A and B are shown apart, each in its own frame.
Chain A
Amino acid sequence: MIRFAGTWFRYGSSWVVRDLDLEVADGELLVVVGPTGSGKTTLLKMIDGLVPHFSGGELRGDVIVAGHSIRDTPPTELAGTVGYVGQDPAASFVTDLVEEEIAYAMENLGIEPAVMRRRVEEALDLMSLHELRDRRLTTLSGGQRQRVAIAAVLAAAPRILVLDEPTAALDPGAAEEVLSSLTRLVHDVGMTVVLAEHRLERVLPFADRVVLLDGQGGMVAGEPGAVMADSALAPPLIELGRLAGWSPLPITVREARRRCGPLREALAELPTLAPEADGGDVVAKTDGLCASFGNLLALDGVDLAVRAGTITAIMGRNGSGKSTLLSCLAGIKEPSCGNASVGQTPPADLSAAERIRTVGFVPQEASLLLYAQRVDEECATADEEHGLAPGTTAASVTAIAGELAPDRHPRDLSEGQQLALALGIVLAPAPRLVLLDEPTRGLDYEAKRSLVAILEMLRAKGVAIVVATHDVELVAQVADHAVVLAQGEVIANGGAREVICHTPAFAPQVAKVLSPLAWLTVGEVAAALEGSPS
């Protein structure tokens, strides 16, 4: 169906894709994985001809898609054959109503109105969107938007569906929903699906085959179990399998559970895990905090206390009020009733300079915090603005991000480096409270590991950290406390272990495999097996 034949591609001087030979069979679900910058998106865009027709760059060799060479077929002509859904579905919307968006591609292709009508209904059903058909696109949640974007390309009846990180912005529930719709397409409709994803734990169970890009232009393709056996990128389930020495490696939680009897018995006899640290003084507190946007109540009576030297994770569906809670703690959103306080004062009452010294907030798009044209210029202006001794910010950035080339443009850094740079700048004035909104979005496993190390270092220094996230594996690794929000209310609040093990949607893979034992990470299990408590 798709054939890469000796394909090379580059934008500038270095090759992003080197001599790629790959065949995707009809009806296959192929997952493309690899670290940031390894060319996943480029590979996907080639299937649709967006690379090189929209991107420019140099292509050698060829890609044959359903019999067409992408060299002489522009994306417009492939519209009826390939459906492409980009990283940000909202950016691809052309119309303003769900139904019209779904019909848009078909209108362009000149499909008969009667056929069009039928296909729209089918697409609505396949993606379970019929209740949203009259809604405006701007009123939809993240998961719903993703489903509309998929339905919009499906309706044109392509034979190949290409998705770039379809679950990156979604909470675990919504991600599950999108992925199961995709499996239904592969099984019932026989569509060929190619998707790229960072969060392997979510997609691996659905994959027929995995392509692993190593970032140097090389690649391995094969069955998920075989490819994962010696991959540096691996979800916790695979790591657990390696630790226990299972072969072949389990791909789904179900397979692992059937095999883990001996491991579970061995762990059950081990001493109970060390209780979470209580932490120091209360650094930040909310009392019956409410916040609203117009008529919409985003937070409804939230009580929360954050202690020094602890990491608190805030979880919940898309739109449950996580970001609003952080904004209130950061003092950039006025509560509509109740109050939030950092130390003794409400953060909204602090002057800009005081606020920066008290609360550090890294928003969802960390790159928004970066303005300058060069990394060193960024650090120098930050020193000046925060009234710090010259070099403080640069030192803080180096401590967190490692050495960054001072003449790089911040927008050219990888997502992980941008996050580290923003975090370094925010941390330079040594705030007592650090807030992170969805920090692992777009990070590969390597970048995530260094983020975990940074968070642990900050905790050891006695900083209070609040992280709003969908990433249950991150919560399992670092959080001391977990708070679950739903419709702006706290529905669970307590020790991280207790909260996430008791909420099936938020349980990490290791907990799912070893339940009813409350182990959260492979690290813990490994340490316990070696006899030293973690």
Chain B
Amino acid sequence: MRRERTPHAVAWWIWAAGLALAALRTSNPLLLALLAAAIVVVCVARTPRDLQQSPLATFARVALIIILVRVVLQIVFGQRLPGHVLFTLPSVPMPSWAEGVSIGGPVSIEGLLSAITGGLRLAVVLLAFGAANALASPRAVLRSLPGLLHEVAVAITVALCFAPEVLASVRRIQQARLLRGRPTTGIAGMRGIAVPVLEDALDRSIQLAASMGARGFGRRPVSVSLARERTALATLILGSMILLVGGYGVLAGSSVVPGAAWLAGLGLAAVCLGVGLSGRRAARTRYRPAPVGLRSVACGASGWLSALLVVIAGVADASSITWSPWPLSWPQVTPLAFAAVVIALVPLLVAPGEARVAAARGTKIAVS
């Protein structure tokens, strides 16, 4: 068995999901900003260097756009919230049937702040997702899916590989059109590019299908009964649905779904049962599965511990995680909430930096 050198890909995604959950539970902009900082610090320090462009940068850009859009919408269409008026836009009177909507009017600091906070919450969730993408490629996660979901995982992997291929093909065809002095923009250009790109994509998928077939994809062992496989799949799907409903109830944090925690537990158990039923199918083997050890557990757990601390901080003192601009005041972060941010940084301790990973690979020196 190989020794674990870096946390498992799935552990990174679990860590990120925990932090996204923590962000969804709070409306305190200071706490949100601290969580965002923690995510960025861990991601920048631990992203593999061979990535050409870190997905984090892309997601950060999208997050920023979301905040900006929310602010602009608040200024132009937003509800006219009371407070200290910054400036007043010329307003358009609305007919009586559209009473809820307003255009223009007075813009208050409080209204802007609440828009920014709302945007910030979404931005942190996006950052967490971007960090997960950068720290462990989604393909590595798909590789770890249980055998039952193998076909689905392959389809997603192929689609993920496909996107950059299509982009490259678009670029090639655009260049060729330039050479003949044909338009590359506008409707005529789009049509002229779309048709060959689709032809290209179709060609490619046929070739890929042939290659996968020739390399044994879709072989089924004779020994596994179809009935058992179906039972496993049904259990898995049912379990995921129950888990989804229960999980929603837990996240919503109110009495929307009665017994949400129990439902979530039941769903999880069903999912595990489904995976267990299918896991013994010996059709495929896995090459060098990444080992799971203390590092992975610590990494995954730290994200959820962070979320738990935010919840506990809220129970202890509701004002520490919820914040509203009425009346205008500085957001406060209690020690418990701050601890949640510190815990989110645990992966910095358990995941070795890039240089140490490289050294460990090259010379097989165990990383302490």
Instruction: Give the residue of A92, A116, A368 whose beta carbon is less than 8 angstroms from that of B287.
Output: A116
**Contact pattern, B 148-186, Cβ under 8 Å of A = 1, otherwise 0:** 000000100110010010000000110110111110000
Q: Which residues of B contact A425 (CB under 8 A)?
A: 180
Given A110-B285, A138-B164: A330 touches B179 (CB 8 Å cut-off):
yes
Q: How far is the CB of A166 from chain B (nearest CB, A)?
A: 15
- Docked pose: A66 CA to B201 CA in angstroms: 34
Q: Which residues of A contact B227 (CB under 8 A)?
A: none
Q: Is the CB of A108 within 8 A of B215?
A: yes
Q: Is the CB of B284 within 8 A of A110?
A: yes
Q: Is the CB of A153 within 8 A of B179?
A: no
Looking at the complex, which of A79-87, A187-195, A500-508 is the stretch in contact with chain B?
A79-87
Instruction: Give the residue of B50, B206, B213, B289 whose beta carbon is less than 8 angstroms from that of A74.
Output: B213
How many residue pairs, one in A and one in B, have C-beta atoms under 8 Å apart?
146
Chain A minimum-CB-distance residue to B53: A294
Q: Which residues of B contact A113 (CB under 8 A)?
A: 285-289
Q: Is the CB of B175 within 8 A of A107?
A: no
Q: How far is the CB of B156 from chain A (nearest CB, A)?
A: 12
Q: Which residues of A contact B211 (CB under 8 A)?
A: 84, 86, 91-94
Q: Is the CB of A95 within 8 A of B285?
A: no
Given A50-B214, A94-B208: A107 touches B287 (CB 8 Å cut-off):
yes
Chain B minimum-CB-distance residue to A387: B181
**Contact pattern, A 80-123, Cβ under 8 Å of B = 1, otherwise 0:** 10111010100111111001100111111111110011001000
- Docked pose: A135 CA to B361 CA in angstroms: 13
- Docked pose: A159 CA to B8 CA in angstroms: 36
Task: Please report which residues of chain B, range 203-225, place their CB below 8 angstroms from some CB of chain A when the two chains form the complex.
Answer: 204, 206-219, 221
Given A110-B283, A134-B361: A385 touches B213 (CB 8 Å cut-off):
no
Q: Is B192 an interface residue (CB 8 A)?
A: yes
Instruction: Give the residue of B158, B182, B207, B213 whose beta carbon is less than 8 angstroms from that of A88.
Output: B207
Q: Which residues of B contact A327 (CB under 8 A)?
A: 175
Q: Which residues of A contact B46 (CB under 8 A)?
A: none
Q: Which residues of A contact B179 (CB under 8 A)?
A: 330, 332, 356, 361, 363, 369, 426
Instruction: Give the residue of B154, B181, B196 whose beta carbon is less than 8 angstroms from that of A385.
Output: B181
- Docked pose: A519 CA to B182 CA in angstroms: 44
- Docked pose: A50 CA to B211 CA in angstroms: 9
Given A106-B287, A110-B285, A371-B192: A77 touches B219 (CB 8 Å cut-off):
yes
Q: Which residues of A contact B324 (CB under 8 A)?
A: none
Q: Is B282 an interface residue (CB 8 A)?
A: yes
Q: Is B139 an interface residue (CB 8 A)?
A: yes
Q: Which residues of A contact B54 (CB under 8 A)?
A: none
Chain B minimum-CB-distance residue to A87: B207
Q: Which residues of B contact A356 (CB under 8 A)?
A: 179-181
Q: Is the CB of A111 within 8 A of B285?
A: yes
Q: Which residues of A contact B283 (CB under 8 A)?
A: 110
Given A107-B285, A356-B181, A363-B179: A79 touches B214 (CB 8 Å cut-off):
yes
Q: Is B108 an interface residue (CB 8 A)?
A: no
Q: How far is the CB of B172 from chain A (nearest CB, A)?
A: 6
- Docked pose: A133 CA to B26 CA in angstroms: 44
- Docked pose: A355 CA to B179 CA in angstroms: 8
Q: Of B175, B179, B181, B282, which is in contact with the most chain A CB atoms at under 10 Å from its CB?
A: B179
- Docked pose: A353 CA to B182 CA in angstroms: 9
Q: Is B137 an interface residue (CB 8 A)?
A: yes
Q: Is the CB of A103 within 8 A of B287?
A: yes
**Contact pattern, B 325-368, Cβ under 8 Å of A = 1, otherwise 0:** 00000000000000000000000000000000000010000000
- Docked pose: A343 CA to B212 CA in angstroms: 51
Q: How far is the CB of B286 from chain A (nearest CB, A)?
A: 6
- Docked pose: A511 CA to B204 CA in angstroms: 40
Chain B minimum-CB-distance residue to A55: B210
Q: Is A352 an interface residue (CB 8 A)?
A: yes
Q: Which residues of A contact B284 (CB under 8 A)?
A: 107-108, 110
Q: Is the CB of B176 within 8 A of A92?
A: no
Q: Is the CB of A76 within 8 A of B287?
A: no
Q: Which residues of A contact B214 (CB under 8 A)?
A: 48, 50, 75-76, 78-79, 82-84
Q: Which residues of B contact A451 (CB under 8 A)?
A: none
Q: Is the CB of B176 within 8 A of A363?
A: yes
Chain A minimum-CB-distance residue to B139: A96
Q: Which residues of B contact A109 (CB under 8 A)?
A: 216, 219
- Docked pose: A100 CA to B286 CA in angstroms: 10
**Contact pattern, A 121-144, Cβ under 8 Å of B = 1, otherwise 0:** 000000000000011101000000
Task: Show 13 residue pairs from A and B whose CB-CB distance is below 8 angstroms, ordered by the A residue.
Answer: A75-B213, A75-B214, A76-B216, A79-B216, A80-B216, A93-B211, A94-B157, A96-B139, A99-B287, A105-B215, A106-B287, A136-B50, A138-B164
Among all A-B residue pairs, the 8 with the closest Cβ atoms = A79-B216, A103-B287, A92-B211, A108-B216, A368-B176, A352-B181, A105-B215, A91-B207
Which A residues form the contact surface with B (CB < 8 A)?
48, 50, 53-54, 74-80, 82-84, 86, 88, 91-96, 99-100, 103-113, 116-117, 120, 134-136, 138, 152-153, 156, 327, 330, 332, 352-353, 355-356, 361, 363, 365, 368-369, 371, 382, 385-386, 425-426
